[in-house]
Structure formats: structure tokens, C-alpha cells
Amino acid sequence: MKLNPFMKAGIGLTFALIWSCPTLAAMTEAPKNFGLEVKITGQSEDDRDLGTAPGGDVNGVGLDLRPWIYGESGAWSAYAMGQAVTSTDIIETDTLQQSDGNETTNNSDRETKKNYLAMREFWVGYSGFTPYPGEILKLGRQRLRNDDGQWRDTNIEALNWTFDTTLLRANAGVAERFSEYRTDLKELSPKDKDRLHAYADAAYQWTPGNWVGIRGHHTHDDGKLDYPQPGVPTDSLDKKQNGDISWLGLTADSDAYNWRNTNQLNYWGSITGMRGDTDTVNPLNADGTRPTEAKRGDDLNGWATDVGVRLRLDPQWQVGAAYARASAEYQQNGLESNRSNYTGTRSRVHRFGEAFRGEMNNMQTATLFGSWMLNDEYDASLIYHKFWRVDGNKPVGSNGINAVENNTDDVTGAILSSTSLPLNDGEKDLGQEMDLVVTKYFKQGLLPAALSQSIDEPSALVRFRGGVFKPGDAYGSQVDSYMHRAFIDVIWRF
């Protein structure tokens, strides 16, 4: 008998419930140096292209196995995590998985597959420079992450130093992506090729529960540009831009991203400036000849801010509001996930919509939310977003929407080519979205402290993540009224 996706997700939920019984849970009471994370994900997605192209829907179930091993010897430590994924459709079993892994190329070197093997992390750490237990230097492919997820939240090859104490937190390092370490993605995305990241941040607790900080990031991209040639098809993996960009930001918060805090009022705020210069390849002329100038240089200046407040009504219920704005030229550094605990629960939620997945680029967002937690067993967040363009004549960044404009044959109606759908000039309304994230937890589990960045979930849970996006006037009247993206995740760690 063939099982549909929802039946398969139900089977996974049943196994999680069985393993949550006290006898089996007791087997994980002691800290472990090796284990296996099992994740079953069901995904339903409709109209990422907003109805502008045939197909594009996703309905399937995936099994994601992540074996890991960790060891310590004095001040030295080492960690490795692998990954094996099999699924009925091309789905996202990983919240760090970027949506730009489906580029169409002439050689399929970056085409996401249903089944693949990967190495998520492999690093060596040393914690002997200072006597503080929260200090460690790591070398290798590792999880880099900051609290708001807007600067770093990814697995990447890096040399990273972390210093985490009661009054002072700091990070410094360099990172560069050399490979995806996946059997299906054999080539890097063009924006990652030969791009070096250098970063540092520090935050000081100036009064109990209140932090102020400064953070900086610089990218040096000197990759070889691929210039178009007349009569030669272009490849979407061709590198079209490089340059140098710097970010400098100030932050202040009440430990708002720590879901364990019991403050009646939480707040966060950040302001970031960005400057840089880029070289961009010019396309061929309309008649297929080479342009007069092979590339153009641009100077970039931009800024962004994100502020929010959250009020605790009682031990279980919280409500809040947030606002973010990024200028037309502002762009993020490419290591972000934009996921954080800003709603006050243990579940990390996309700051700009589970469906739309906006980016800090020519966009402003107003957000209202409510959240609920019951002990260590349940949490839920209900979130409303409204999105606008800052400059009504320039594009925005979103890795959740891929609307296209089709060039069709006048006689047969066949689609000859497709390009990204241009937004309507002068229209700023991008749309609105409702998100719901609900989680049931089973067992906290004990893991080595050094793995807090790599494994940020308890040992067993069932989670629903979903968003419904309604496009605004900027997308025009020829797109569908709604699109949705929803996931059911079942996780167990052995």
C-alpha cells in the first residue's frame, strides 16, 4: 500500500511518542559523546512562483539522519556531524538550507536532489587560552550563529574564537566557503565563490539583564568574473559580481533572545551601516554583441535597523511588536538565516515570514505577535507581518518567492523563456503574512556544553511551522492571491 505524505508524517509522530516513554528516555540521562539525530520532515508548499509558472508545488516527506561524534582531551576537543537525506520530493529538512540551491545550470552541478549525503560540521577546538569555561577557539567547518540570526547563522569553514562570560560576550574570526560538502551540490553558489568573511563582535552587560554591543563584518570578494560571450549560452553559476563591503552595527537588548529569561518587559534594537564597492559584469547588448564596457563599478551605502518590544502578561503568555527597515542599497552579508527566538519561545522563527522569507534589502516590516509556553512541554507563536518596499522603483530580496515573467509564443502559447517578475514601478505594498509555529517537547536530554551552537534543540520534539503570504500591489494583479509553506518536523536524538 502506498502511503501519502501525511500518513508518513503520522508514522514518524508515533515513533516519537513511543520513544518519549520514561524507560527509554532514561537512557539519555548521561552526557554523550556520540549519537544520532533522526529528523522526519513533511513539507507542503504551493505557489512559490505566485502562479506565474507551471508546477512549483512541493508535497513530500523526508528522512534526515545526522550521526555525530564528540571528544575531549584536556583543553582540546573535536566534533563531526554527517548527514544522509532521502525524501519523496525536494524538500527542506534543514532550517539552515538556503532556497537558492536549485539553479538551472548546463551541467547540473548545483541541482538539489531528493537523496544526498553531506558533512555538516567537522572542527577541532582549543579552550586553554583563558580560565573561563565559555572560551574556545575552533578551526574547521562549524556552526556560526549570533542571537538575531541576521549576521551569522550557517555552517561554514572558519577559524572562530568565542568568549562567553556573565558580563562579556565576544566573537572574532574569519570564514570562507570552499565546498557545500554535499553529493548533489558540487559547485558553490556564485556569491560564495572566493568570498572571505572577517568579523568580530562584543557585548557588555552594563546592568543586570541589559546588554549593549558593537559588531562588525567585512567581505572581500576577489573571485574571477565570468564575462558573457556572443553566441555562448550563459550559466547561472557564472560569477557576475565581486567587491569589498563592510558593516558596522550597534545593539542593545534585555537578553530578549534568551527564551529562559522571565523579564516582564523585553526589548531589542540594532542599527547598522554598510559601505562598499562592487564590480558587476555587464550583459550583452540586445543584438547579442559585446557591451562597450565589460563591467561597471558601483559604490554602496546603506543602513538597516530592527527594533522590538515584548511584554509578559503572565508566566505563559507574551505579546509583542517589532519593526525593521533596510535602505534600498543595504544588503546582508550572506551568512544569515534571519531566524531567532524573538517571540520569546524556544522555537526559532523566521523574522520576515516563514513563507515570504524576506531579507534586509529595500524593505520595511511591521510585525505583531503573541506567544505561549507551558513549562518545558509546549510553545506556540502566532505572528502577523506587513511588508513594504522602501524605494518603490527598486527590487527587494526574498528567498521565499520566485515569481517569473514568461515570454510566450504568439501562435502556440508555448513558454519560450522566463525571467524574474519585475515589481510594479511606484508600488510599495509587498504583501502581508500570517505565521503559526507550534511545538511539543518530550525530553530535554543532556549534551556536552561545547555543542550548544551545533545542536540547539532538546532531544525530542514535534513541530509545525507554517505561513500564508498574500501578495500586495507591487506584484501586480496577474499573480495568485495566496501562497503557503508549511512543515511538520519530528526530531529524536539517540
Tell me if 69 is assigned to some domain: yes
- pLDDT of 422-462, one tens digit each? 889 999 999 999 999 999 998 765 556 666 666 666 678 99
Spatial contact of 247 and 276, defined as CB atoms under 8 Å apart: no
- The pTM (predicted TM-score) of the whole model is 0.87
Is 239 a member of any domain? no
Q: What is the pLDDT of residue 50?
A: 86
What tens digit of pLDDT does each residue of 21-41 get?
443 333 334 457 999 999 999
pLDDT at 127 over 70: yes
List residues bridging with 469 in a β-sheet: 433, 483
CA distances 250 to 172, 201, 202, 303, 334, Å, are 16, 10, 10, 12, 19
d(C-alpha 192, C-alpha 98), whole Å: 12
Does residue 12 fall inside a structural domain?
Answer: no
Q: Is the pLDDT of residue 116 over 90?
A: yes
Q: Residue 24: inside a domain, yes or no?
A: no
CATH number at residue 382: 2.40.160.100
d(CA 415, CA 396): 26
pLDDT higher at 407 or 381: 381
Domain holding 364, by residue range, is 31-96+112-230+247-493
Helix (H) / strand (E) element for 60: namely: strand 58-73
Q: Is residue 379 part of a domain?
A: yes
397 part of a folded domain = yes
Confidence band for 105, pLDDT divided at 50, 70 and 90: low
Domain total of the chain: 1
Residue 325 lies inside a defined structural domain of this protein = yes
pLDDT computed for residue 129 by the predictor: 93
- Residue 432 is assigned to a structural domain of this protein: yes
**The predicted structure's pLDDT at residue 290:** 87
pLDDT digits (tens, 9 = 90+) for 51-102: 777 776 889 999 999 999 999 999 999 999 999 999 999 999 998 876 544 4
For the ranges 44-58, 101-115, 321-335, which has the lowest average pLDDT?
101-115
Residue 326, strand partner residues: 304, 363
